[in-house]
Every structure is written in structure tokens, then in C-alpha cells.
Amino acid sequence: MTPRLKNAEYAGGYRIRICFADGRAGEIDLAGDLWGEVFAPLKDVEVFRRFRVDTDLNTIARDTGADLAPEYLYDRVSEVSAPRGTHSSRR
């Protein structure tokens, strides 16, 4: 099942605070995820910070067309909100 994104807000730099409908929430740093042609414009922080919650896609969307799968965002929030010592080594 696709996680349902409830809220997202800019948190400075390349960080976004995200909250899912099931209560999973946290702040993730997406600086390391901005590779490839589609994400190149987002390396400009002023462009990165302009996004909206797309309720149809359940993700954050931008006018540039660059977005990340809601499952990926959910996993990233899970990594940062997991108790110390249980972080996934996957990236």
C-alpha cells in the first residue's frame, strides 16, 4: 500500500519535515538525493524549497517535474525516526 503523505514543510537547506497519515514523521535531508538531470535544478536551494504536497501522487511535487516516490520518502523518514542502532544501512 502506498503511504499517504499528510504534510510537508521546508526545514532549511535541503531538509524537509514530513508527516504521513499513519503518524510516521521526521525531518529528512535530501541533499544526497539530488543527482541526475531531472534533479539538477533542485541543487539551487531557492528552487528546492518550492514544493507542494500532491495528494493524488502522495508525494511532494515541484513545477520542475522532479519528485520522489512516496515509498522512498516513507523509508527515509523511517531511517531518521528509528531508534538509535536500528537505522537501515541501505542508501
Positive or negative, the Cα torsion across 33, 37, 40, 42? negative
pLDDT at 80 over 70: yes
H/E stretch holding 48 reads helix 45-48
Question: Can you point out the beta strands (E) in 1-91?
Answer: 5-10, 15-20, 25-29, 52-54, 59-61
Structural domains for the chain:
5-81 (3.30.2020.10)
**pTM, entire model:** 0.82
pLDDT digits (tens, 9 = 90+) for 48-75: 999 999 989 999 999 999 999 999 999 9
